[in-house]
Amino acid sequence: MTASANLTYVGGFSVTKQQPKGTQHIQQIQQQQQEINSLLLSKIQTAKNDERQLNQQKWKIKQANQDSNLHSMSTNNMKTDEIGPLLNLKPYQNLKGHFNKVLSLCWHPDNKHLLTASQDGFILVWDTTTSLKKSFIQLEDPYVTCCDISGNGKFVASGGLDSTCYVYKLDNGFLSGTGGAQPKKNSLLKQLLFGI
Protein backbone atom coordinates (compact mmCIF):
# COMPACT_ATOMS: atom_id res chain seq x y z
CA MET A 1 0.00 0.00 0.00
CA THR A 2 1.47 3.33 -0.96
CA ALA A 3 0.94 6.58 0.83
CA SER A 4 -0.65 9.41 -1.12
CA ALA A 5 1.39 12.54 -1.72
CA ASN A 6 0.25 16.14 -1.58
CA LEU A 7 2.14 18.64 -3.74
CA THR A 8 2.68 22.14 -2.47
CA TYR A 9 4.83 24.84 -3.96
CA VAL A 10 7.09 26.63 -1.58
CA GLY A 11 9.41 29.29 -3.02
CA GLY A 12 9.15 27.89 -6.52
CA PHE A 13 10.00 24.36 -5.46
CA SER A 14 7.45 21.55 -5.27
CA VAL A 15 7.41 19.81 -1.94
CA THR A 16 5.53 16.55 -1.44
CA LYS A 17 3.89 15.79 1.83
CA GLN A 18 3.13 12.20 2.59
CA GLN A 19 -0.06 11.29 4.58
CA PRO A 20 0.59 8.81 7.31
CA LYS A 21 -0.41 5.27 6.35
CA GLY A 22 -2.63 4.86 9.46
CA THR A 23 -4.90 7.77 8.52
CA GLN A 24 -5.47 6.49 5.02
CA HIS A 25 -6.19 2.99 6.34
CA ILE A 26 -8.69 4.36 8.88
CA GLN A 27 -10.49 6.29 6.14
CA GLN A 28 -10.74 3.16 3.99
CA ILE A 29 -12.15 1.16 6.91
CA GLN A 30 -14.70 3.90 7.66
CA GLN A 31 -15.76 3.98 4.02
CA GLN A 32 -16.15 0.18 3.98
CA GLN A 33 -18.21 0.31 7.20
CA GLN A 34 -20.50 2.95 5.67
CA GLU A 35 -20.97 0.78 2.58
CA ILE A 36 -21.71 -2.28 4.73
CA ASN A 37 -24.17 -0.31 6.91
CA SER A 38 -26.04 1.04 3.89
CA LEU A 39 -26.16 -2.46 2.38
CA LEU A 40 -27.49 -3.94 5.64
CA LEU A 41 -30.10 -1.19 5.98
CA SER A 42 -31.32 -1.81 2.45
CA LYS A 43 -31.54 -5.57 3.11
CA ILE A 44 -33.45 -4.95 6.36
CA GLN A 45 -35.87 -2.66 4.53
CA THR A 46 -36.32 -5.27 1.80
CA ALA A 47 -37.00 -7.96 4.42
CA LYS A 48 -39.57 -5.72 6.15
CA ASN A 49 -41.32 -5.10 2.84
CA ASP A 50 -41.34 -8.84 2.09
CA GLU A 51 -42.79 -9.54 5.54
CA ARG A 52 -45.51 -6.94 5.02
CA GLN A 53 -46.41 -8.45 1.64
CA LEU A 54 -46.48 -12.00 3.07
CA ASN A 55 -48.72 -10.89 5.94
CA GLN A 56 -51.10 -9.27 3.45
CA GLN A 57 -51.16 -12.45 1.36
CA LYS A 58 -51.77 -14.54 4.49
CA TRP A 59 -54.64 -12.26 5.53
CA LYS A 60 -56.19 -12.51 2.04
CA ILE A 61 -55.94 -16.31 2.12
CA LYS A 62 -57.55 -16.41 5.58
CA GLN A 63 -60.34 -14.13 4.42
CA ALA A 64 -60.93 -16.31 1.37
CA ASN A 65 -61.09 -19.46 3.51
CA GLN A 66 -63.21 -17.87 6.21
CA ASP A 67 -66.61 -18.53 4.76
CA SER A 68 -68.50 -17.63 7.89
CA ASN A 69 -68.40 -15.99 11.28
CA LEU A 70 -70.08 -16.87 14.56
CA HIS A 71 -73.08 -14.62 14.02
CA SER A 72 -73.84 -15.89 10.52
CA MET A 73 -73.35 -19.51 11.60
CA SER A 74 -75.78 -19.14 14.49
CA THR A 75 -78.29 -17.41 12.23
CA ASN A 76 -77.91 -20.03 9.49
CA ASN A 77 -78.26 -22.90 11.94
CA MET A 78 -81.55 -21.53 13.17
CA LYS A 79 -82.88 -21.52 9.62
CA THR A 80 -81.62 -24.88 8.45
CA ASP A 81 -81.88 -28.36 9.88
CA GLU A 82 -78.89 -29.87 8.04
CA ILE A 83 -76.76 -30.35 11.15
CA GLY A 84 -79.60 -31.40 13.36
CA PRO A 85 -81.92 -29.78 15.84
CA LEU A 86 -80.55 -26.89 17.85
CA LEU A 87 -79.32 -27.80 21.28
CA ASN A 88 -81.07 -26.01 24.06
CA LEU A 89 -78.59 -26.59 26.86
CA LYS A 90 -79.68 -25.97 30.42
CA PRO A 91 -77.72 -26.55 33.63
CA TYR A 92 -78.27 -30.04 35.03
CA GLN A 93 -76.80 -29.46 38.49
CA ASN A 94 -75.27 -26.47 40.22
CA LEU A 95 -72.39 -27.63 42.40
CA LYS A 96 -71.66 -25.09 45.12
CA GLY A 97 -69.05 -25.62 47.80
CA HIS A 98 -65.72 -24.06 46.89
CA PHE A 99 -64.66 -20.76 48.42
CA ASN A 100 -62.29 -19.65 45.66
CA LYS A 101 -61.82 -20.04 41.92
CA VAL A 102 -62.38 -23.50 40.46
CA LEU A 103 -59.53 -24.00 38.00
CA SER A 104 -59.88 -27.62 36.99
CA LEU A 105 -62.35 -30.48 36.93
CA CYS A 106 -62.46 -34.02 35.68
CA TRP A 107 -64.90 -36.89 35.55
CA HIS A 108 -64.43 -40.01 37.62
CA PRO A 109 -64.28 -43.19 35.49
CA ASP A 110 -67.72 -44.22 36.80
CA ASN A 111 -69.19 -41.16 34.95
CA LYS A 112 -71.26 -40.35 38.03
CA HIS A 113 -68.72 -38.47 40.13
CA LEU A 114 -66.86 -35.27 39.36
CA LEU A 115 -63.64 -33.92 40.87
CA THR A 116 -63.14 -30.16 41.09
CA ALA A 117 -59.92 -28.44 42.12
CA SER A 118 -60.02 -24.95 43.56
CA GLN A 119 -57.61 -22.38 44.88
CA ASP A 120 -59.29 -22.74 48.24
CA GLY A 121 -56.93 -25.70 48.76
CA PHE A 122 -59.35 -28.58 48.22
CA ILE A 123 -60.30 -31.09 45.58
CA LEU A 124 -63.94 -31.99 46.08
CA VAL A 125 -65.55 -35.23 44.92
CA TRP A 126 -69.14 -34.63 43.85
CA ASP A 127 -72.03 -36.94 43.18
CA THR A 128 -73.45 -35.27 40.09
CA THR A 129 -76.85 -36.93 40.37
CA THR A 130 -77.55 -35.49 43.82
CA SER A 131 -75.13 -32.48 43.72
CA LEU A 132 -73.77 -33.58 47.11
CA LYS A 133 -70.12 -33.58 48.13
CA LYS A 134 -69.01 -37.16 48.70
CA SER A 135 -65.45 -36.49 49.82
CA PHE A 136 -62.60 -34.01 49.74
CA ILE A 137 -58.84 -33.92 49.40
CA GLN A 138 -56.99 -31.22 51.27
CA LEU A 139 -54.15 -30.11 49.04
CA GLU A 140 -50.56 -29.53 50.03
CA ASP A 141 -50.51 -26.25 48.10
CA PRO A 142 -53.69 -24.17 47.67
CA TYR A 143 -52.55 -22.73 44.34
CA VAL A 144 -53.66 -25.70 42.28
CA THR A 145 -54.21 -25.25 38.56
CA CYS A 146 -55.15 -28.75 37.41
CA CYS A 147 -56.34 -32.14 38.58
CA ASP A 148 -57.00 -35.53 37.06
CA ILE A 149 -57.93 -39.01 38.19
CA SER A 150 -56.45 -42.32 37.11
CA GLY A 151 -58.35 -44.68 34.86
CA ASN A 152 -59.02 -47.10 37.72
CA GLY A 153 -60.24 -44.26 39.98
CA LYS A 154 -57.72 -44.99 42.75
CA PHE A 155 -55.31 -42.08 42.31
CA VAL A 156 -55.77 -38.34 41.95
CA ALA A 157 -53.04 -36.03 40.69
CA SER A 158 -52.90 -32.27 41.09
CA GLY A 159 -50.45 -29.66 39.93
CA GLY A 160 -50.07 -26.02 40.69
CA LEU A 161 -48.03 -22.89 40.82
CA ASP A 162 -45.42 -24.45 43.14
CA SER A 163 -44.15 -26.47 40.13
CA THR A 164 -44.95 -29.74 41.88
CA CYS A 165 -47.30 -32.57 40.98
CA TYR A 166 -48.90 -34.31 43.95
CA VAL A 167 -50.42 -37.78 43.70
CA TYR A 168 -53.08 -38.83 46.21
CA LYS A 169 -54.41 -42.31 46.83
CA LEU A 170 -58.17 -42.41 47.29
CA ASP A 171 -59.45 -44.50 50.16
CA ASN A 172 -61.97 -47.22 49.35
CA GLY A 173 -64.84 -45.49 51.09
CA PHE A 174 -64.69 -42.14 49.31
CA LEU A 175 -67.79 -42.86 47.26
CA SER A 176 -69.84 -43.59 50.39
CA GLY A 177 -68.64 -40.37 52.00
CA THR A 178 -66.72 -42.07 54.78
CA GLY A 179 -63.21 -41.74 53.39
CA GLY A 180 -60.87 -39.14 52.05
CA ALA A 181 -57.47 -39.18 50.50
CA GLN A 182 -54.03 -39.21 51.96
CA PRO A 183 -51.07 -37.73 50.13
CA LYS A 184 -48.54 -40.34 49.14
CA LYS A 185 -45.89 -38.04 47.75
CA ASN A 186 -42.51 -39.70 47.86
CA SER A 187 -43.14 -43.43 48.15
CA LEU A 188 -46.05 -43.46 45.70
CA LEU A 189 -44.23 -41.35 43.13
CA LYS A 190 -41.20 -43.64 43.32
CA GLN A 191 -43.49 -46.64 42.91
CA LEU A 192 -45.32 -45.13 39.94
CA LEU A 193 -42.29 -43.68 38.19
CA PHE A 194 -39.59 -46.21 38.93
CA GLY A 195 -41.48 -49.35 39.96
CA ILE A 196 -39.70 -49.38 43.36
For residue 147, give the CATH number of its domain.
2.40.10.480
Distances (CA, A) of 58 to 44, 46, 65, 176, 184: 21, 18, 11, 57, 52
- Asked if residue 184 is part of any domain, the answer here is yes
In a domain, 160, yes or no: yes
Given this model, what pLDDT does residue 187 score? 44
Stretch 107-126: mean pLDDT: 90
pLDDT of residue 45: 94
What's the sign of the alpha-carbon dihedral 158, 160, 166, 170? negative
Task: Give the pLDDT mean for 133-152.
Answer: 87
Instruction: For 40-87, write each residue's pLDDT tens digit.
Output: 999 999 999 999 999 899 888 877 776 666 666 666 555 445 555 566
One domain, residues 121 and 184: yes
C-alpha count within 13 angstroms, C-beta hemisphere, residue 193: 9
168 CB burial (10 A radius; 0-12, 13-18, 19+): buried
Provide mean pLDDT across the span 12-26. 63
Average the pLDDT over each of 55-59, 116-120, 172-176 and give the range with the smallest value. 172-176
Last residue of a domain, one of 17, 48, 65: 65
**Is a pLDDT exceeding 90 seen at residue 117?**
yes
Q: Are residues 112 and 174 in the same domain?
A: yes
| Residue 99 per-residue DSSP state | S
Average pLDDT, the chain: 75
Please tell me whether the overall predicted TM-score, pTM, comes out greater than 0.85 for this model.
Answer: no
175 and 122 inside one domain: yes
| Integer Cα distance of 52 and 43 in angstroms | 14
Structural domain for 32, as ranges: 5-65
**Do 57 and 111 reside in the same domain of the chain?**
no
pLDDT of residue 128 exceeding 60, the answer is: yes
Same domain for 112 and 180, yes or no, is: yes
Residue 145 is assigned to a structural domain of this protein: yes
Choose one of 65, 94, 112: the last residue of a domain. 65
pLDDT for 194: 44
Residue 87: the pLDDT is 64
Domain count within the chain? 2
- Cβ atoms 1, 21 nearer than 8 A: yes
Tell me the C-alpha distance between 136 and 97, whole Å.
11
Whether residue 110 sits in one domain with residue 41: no
Could you tell me which residues come within 8 angstroms of residue 149 by beta carbon, excluding any fewer than 6 positions away?
106, 107, 108, 109, 115, 155, 156, 157
Same domain for 107 and 41: no
In a domain, 123, yes or no: yes
Indicate whether 168 belongs to any domain.
yes
Evaluate whether residue 116 is within a structural domain.
yes
Q: Is residue 134 part of a domain?
A: yes
Residue with the larger pLDDT of the pair 12 and 48: 48
